[in-house]
Amino acid sequence: MSFDRNLEERLVRYCAVDTQSDADSPTAPSTAIQYDLLRMLEGELREIGAQDVTLTDYGVVLATIPGTAPGPTIGFLAHVDTAPQFNATGVKPRVIRGYNGGDITYPDDPELVLSPENSPYLGEKQGHDIVTASGLTLLGADDKAGVAIIMAAAQHLLAHPELPHPPLRIAFTPDEEIGRGVGTQLPKDLACDFAYTFDGGKVGEVEYESFSADGADIRIKGVSIHPGYATGKLVNAIHLASKIVGALPQGSMVPELTSGRDGFIHATDMTGGSSEMRLKLIIRDFELDGLEAKGALVRKVCEAVQAGEPRAEITCTITPQYRNMRYWLETDMTPVNLALDAAKSLGIEPVSRPIRGGTDGSRLTEMGVPTPNLFTGMQNIHGPLEWVSVQDMARAAELMLTLVGRAVRG
C-alpha cells in the first residue's frame, strides 16, 4: 500500500488553512478560524464513511471507525491548531520532490536556507518528498501531519472492511499549542480504553514521558504620574519587570542552555507600559519536585522585587498546565508496548526519549486515558524552517494500521 500522494494532498490542503491559537483568548476554541479546518475534517470524515461524526460545542471533531474484530477501543488524536510563536497567516505549502540532499531555499525569503547542516535529520531523506512553507510562515505540520496520517489510515480501513481491527475513535482537537486541547468532557466523549497522539518527530519515536508544566502570570502595577513632576513619586513598572527578568537564571535553567532531562524557566511574553506590566513565564521539569522548586524561585524573585519597592503591587500566579504522562503509563505499559511491537514488526527501530514539551496525551493520561505519543516525521516546528517528509508520514500511517491489527484479541 502507498499513502504518499494521499498524505501529500491532505497535508498541503490542511496546512493552507490558518488555525493559529491564541493563549489570551477566553473562548474555546481560542480562535474562530480553527473551525475552518474542524468543519472541513467533519465533512471529510462523513465522506469516507466514518460513523458518529460530531463537532462538539467545545471544538473537538469526534468520529468512530467501526471494529471488524474484537479488541480494546483505541483512540487516535491530532490537534488542528498551530503555534502562536510565529506567523501562520498565508501559509503556502510546497513540495520538493525527490530531495537531492542539498540546500533548500525559500521563494519568499531568499536569505532563508534549510540544509542538513542546520537540520541533520534532513540529510537522511535523500529521495524523499519534502514539504516546507514559502519562507514567511511556519508550515503547520505540527500537527496537521498527524491529522493527515490519521485521516489517510482511517480512509484505508473504511475502504477495506476485510482488515481486522477493533473499534477506533478519532479526535481532532483545538488549542493544544496553548495547553487547552483537552477539556473535562473529552475523556468521557472519546470513550476508549487507551489512545495515541500522532504528534511526534523522527520515525521510530514512541514517547511515554513528557515534561510536567506550569505557567506563571506576573502582574506589576507601578505608580503613574506626569514624568515632569515625578520626583519621589513615580514607580516605573517597566523597570520592575526588567528587575524580575534580570534576577531569574540567565546562565542556566533557560531553554537555550538546557537539554536532556534538564528543566527550565522561559519568559514568553512581556507586555504593558510604565504604569502596568505583565510577564508570562512557562516552567518545565520532568519531576514534580523540580517543577515546584522552579515555581518557588519565581515567587521568591517577585517577593524580593516587591520588598525593594513597596509602593508597587506585584502578584505572581502559578497555574498547573499538564503533568508527566510517565507517572500513569509506567503503571500499565500496555499501549506503549503495543506501539513498540508494531514498530518493530515494520522494521522500525523504536526510540523512547522524554518529550521536552507536552501533548494532548499528557492531559488525557492524567485524566484517565493512557495516551502515548507517536511519530509523524515533522521537524523544526514553530518556525519558518519547519519541514516534513511525506515518506515519513507514510511510515506513521503504516504504524497506525499495524498497531490496530495487532490489537485484535485472539
Domain CATH number, residue 257: 3.30.70.360
Same domain as 269, residue 206: no
Q: What's the DSSP call for residue 136?
A: S
Domain CATH number, residue 22: 3.40.630.10
Closest by CA position to 316, among listed 283, 356, 362, 273: 283
Residue type, 80: V
**In terms of C-beta distances under 8 Å and separation of at least 24 residues, what long-range contacts does 254-261 make, across chains too?**
259/356, 260/354, 261/286, 261/354
Same domain as 194, residue 175: yes
Query: What is the predicted pLDDT for the residue at 289?
Result: 97
What is the model's pTM? Answer: 0.92
DSSP string, 180-214: -S--TTHHHHH--SEEEEEEE-STTBEE--B-EEE
Residue given cell 515534561 in the structure block: 211
Q: Distance between CA atoms of 372 and 73, rounded to whole angstroms? A: 15
Identify the sign of the CA torsion 206, 162, 71, 156.
Answer: positive
Express each pLDDT in 286-322 by its tens digit: 999 999 999 999 999 999 999 999 999 999 999 999 9
Same domain as 165, residue 46: yes
Helix axis angle, 390-406 relative to 141-159, nearest 10°? 50
Per the structure block, which three cell numbers stand in for 52?
Answer: 458518529
Same domain as 179, residue 306: no
Q: What's the DSSP call for residue 176?
A: G
Same domain as 372, residue 248: no
Residue 313 among known ligand-binding residues: no
Same domain as 276, residue 198: no
Q: Is the pLDDT of residue 237 over 90?
A: yes
Per the structure block, which three cell numbers stand in for 72?
Answer: 480494546
Q: Distance between CA atoms of 50 and 59, rounded to whole angstroms? A: 18
Q: What angle do CA 220, 223, 229 make, to 5 degrees?
A: 150
Q: Distance between CA atoms of 349 and 33, rounded to whole angstroms? A: 38
Same domain as 346, residue 293: no
Could you tell me the end-to-end alpha-carbon distance of the chain, in angstroms, rounded to an integer?
25
Percent of the chain with pLDDT over 70: 100
Q: Is the pLDDT of residue 156 over 70?
A: yes
Query: What is the predicted pLDDT for the residue at 379?
Result: 98
Closest by CA position to 168, among listed 186, 193, 149: 193
Residue 36 among known ligand-binding residues: no
Residue type, 283: I
The catalytic residue positions are 81, 176
Q: Is the pLDDT of residue 263 over 70?
A: yes
Same domain as 149, residue 28: yes
Contact by Cβ (8 Å): 140, 14 = yes
Same domain as 188, residue 127: yes
Alpha carbon of residue 246 to chain centroid:
29
Query: What is the predicted pLDDT for the residue at 79?
Result: 98
Q: What's the DSSP call for residue 408?
A: S
Confidence of residue 409 (pLDDT cuts 50, 70, 90): confident
Domain's final residue, options 322, 357, 374? 322
Q: Is the pLDDT of residue 205 over 90?
A: yes
Confidence of residue 400 (pLDDT cuts 50, 70, 90): very high
Classify each residue of 15-36 as buried b or exposed e, where b means 16 or more C-beta atoms within 10 Å of its C-beta. bebbbbbbeeeeebbbbebbbe
Query: What is the predicted pLDDT for the residue at 1?
Result: 60
Strand partners, 131: 95, 388
Same domain as 273, residue 252: yes
**Average pLDDT of 210-219?**
96
Residue 382 among known ligand-binding residues: yes
Residue 79 among known ligand-binding residues: yes
Residue 156 among known ligand-binding residues: no
Domain's final residue, options 322, 353, 368? 322
Domain, as residue range, for 283? 212-322
Confidence of residue 410 (pLDDT cuts 50, 70, 90): low
Q: Are strands 94-96 and 130-132 parallel, antiparallel or unpaired?
A: antiparallel
Confidence of residue 2 (pLDDT cuts 50, 70, 90): confident
Query: What is the predicted pLDDT for the residue at 177?
Result: 95
Classify each residue of 48-61 as buried b or exposed e, where b means 16 or more C-beta atoms within 10 Å of its C-beta. bbbeebebbebbbb
Express each pLDDT in 339-376 by its tens digit: 999 999 999 999 999 999 999 999 999 999 999 999 99
Q: Distance between CA atoms of 11 and 17, rounded to whole angstroms? A: 10
DSSP string, 50-95: -EEEEE-TTS-EEEEE--SS----EEEEEE--B-TTS--TT---EE
Domain's final residue, options 276, 294, 322? 322
Contact by Cβ (8 Å): 141, 8 = no
Same domain as 67, residue 170: yes
Task: Report how many domains make up the chain.
Answer: 2
Same domain as 400, residue 336: yes
Residue given cell 501533548 in the structure block: 359
